[in-house]
Structure 1
């Protein structure tokens, strides 16, 4: 990461949409991202990143998508195709197993949970910007799903709001290798300040930061 060290007091890890429907083998959306997720080692890398950041004192912020409820889109004039498809599938349904956090990524007492976003950006119409700025956060690291939709939209919005943005190319996934390449090789360099890997990210932790306990290899 260009020899930069992460400063925990002004950095937040944004964990986007770690729901069962995305990350569990029985999840409704898992088949869409499964191939790429397995190729990059998504689950292990997410565990490593979250564990290392917690141990270093970096603020963890859950950035959740809106949980489906009956009638959500009633009266909407222009719901986007992504929203319409997910509505029909009842993705992340409120009160359902699919809309619960994946058991490996359950919020801990010191974590923050932003209000749910309806579209792709974790900032649009939510309290995420307020949560971060009230804690003096200037740098955000994005992990979770999906690379070329919610992570990309959240990262672009973050830059517009003045944040320093880091993408972690193997702590996310997408529906295809082409979509991943678009997210990290084509679009990512137009807005992200760093595009890195899990190993490089953990290596950039400040020297005084303690090593994560129990992190899986």
Structure 2
């Protein structure tokens, strides 16, 4: 059954959840105010009459910060969906494979997606790539995404954050973000900024 509501665009807020604040590397996040940035985009989307979809990541049975049993798989404090805004929980890196997101978007007639959230090069980029392959027009709001330094693949696991940051082989956040933009632009998504989509909004990010 088609429940097309005439909405053509949706904002996907991906994994802006308390789980990340419980991990030691949160101190190295590229955008510690990612919750405020996501809220700013959500407010602009609502004002434009767009659909806002909130997505959480869960890793059941792992005993880590993303295990729902620990209580951290919830939106960051201060983020509250408006009435009728769906909240989906995924177990894959992209937001489609393990959720009913595509069906939801189809029911609303959505053909264009705006993507923000955590992490830039993982769940956000992966969702953007798959969305483009599914035929959606994608806008990737890079400064409304956040990420963390990535250790080299040969680095020993479990090192303290200070050691990871001191390692010259660690990929810093600015390079991660730049690489994501290079990979997406002109292929999978248009690159945009907060000021492009939410100009002059309260709590603007400089």
Q: Deviations over 1:176-213 (max 9, x none)?
A: 222111111x211153331010001124xxxxxxx97x
Partners in 1 of 2:25 and 2:127 — Cα distance? 21
Once the two structures are superposed, the pairs formed by residues 165-184 of structure 1 within 5 Å of their partners are 165-175=138-148, 176-184=173-181
For residue 18 of structure 1, give the secondary structure of its aligned residue in structure 2: coil
- The count of aligned residue pairs is 175
Task: Indicate if the aligned counterparts of 1:141 and 1:166 stay in contact, CA closer than 8 A.
Answer: yes
Residue of structure 1 equivalent to 2:193: 197
Matching residue within 10, 24, 38 for 1:46 = 38
Once the two structures are superposed, the pairs formed by residues 21-170 of structure 1 within 5 Å of their partners are 21-22=19-20, 24=21, 27-28=22-23, 31=26, 33-34=28-29, 36-38=30-32, 42-66=34-58, 68-70=59-61, 87=62, 90-114=64-88, 116-170=89-143
Task: Report deviation, 1:21.
Answer: 1.7
Partners in 2 of 1:110 and 1:97 — Cα distance? 23
Q: Are 2:203 and 1:216 equivalent residues in the alignment?
A: yes
RMSD: 2.2
Task: Indicate if the aligned counterparts of 1:147 and 1:183 stay in contact, CA closer than 8 A.
Answer: yes
The alpha-carbon distance between structure 1 residues 134 and 32, as it changes in their structure 2 partners (threshold 3 A), is farther
Gaps of 5+ in 2: 1-5, 149-172
Higher RCO (Cα < 8 Å, 6 or more apart): 1
Gaps of 5+ in 1: 1-7, 71-86, 204-210
More helix, by proportion: 1
4+ runs deviating over 4 angstroms = none
Which TM-score applies when normalising by structure 1?
0.72
Which TM-score applies when normalising by structure 2?
0.76
Task: Indicate if the aligned counterparts of 1:167 and 1:192 stay in contact, CA closer than 8 A.
Answer: no
